[in-house]
Amino acid sequence: AGTNDLIKDTGVLATPDRAYLLPWLMQMLLAARAGGLDMLDGVFNDFRDLDAFARECTQAAAMGFDGKTLIHPSQIEAANRAFAPSAQALAEARAVKDAFAEAQNSGKGVIALNGRMVERLHLAQAEKLLAKAAAIGA
């Protein structure tokens, strides 16, 4: 996402919460997903403000971005921390995958797991997360 270009071309105010950019960022993310593409959030210009950068990474990860475009080596650690799957998310993904692999769940589209409904779409999400973790060595 070219956030600097969006700001320049539209004239919106660049605020720390990115309030004026969020609708466009979500539209770009939706378009990327519709096309089966990964999506990276735009750069954070003040590479010395690592706390603000970390907050923006956390926001982008919560929005569904796959990563963030970096402009300085000092940003690598915070980006990895924000976009790498958490231990809890990995455990949940393994539980979903394992539950669908059980013989009694063979061919089922929906199962119950720990008191909640889990669909095959959740299995696909779990498999994608586990593949991402394997690719980055998490």
Query: Which residue would you say has higher pLDDT here, 138 or 97?
Result: 97
In this structure, whether the domain defined by 3-83 belongs to CATH 3.20.20.70 is answered with no
Tens-place pLDDT, residues 82-134: 999 999 999 999 999 999 999 999 889 999 999 999 999 999 999 999 998 99
Taking the CB of residue 21, how many other CB atoms lie within 10 A of it? 21
Determine what percent of the chain is predicted with pLDDT higher than 70. 99
- Return the domain boundaries, the chain: 3-83, 87-136
Please name which of 86, 68, 66 lies closest in space to residue 78, comparing C-alpha atoms.
68
pLDDT at 10 over 90: yes
Q: pTM of the predicted model, to two decimals? A: 0.83
Average of per-residue pLDDT across 4-33: 96
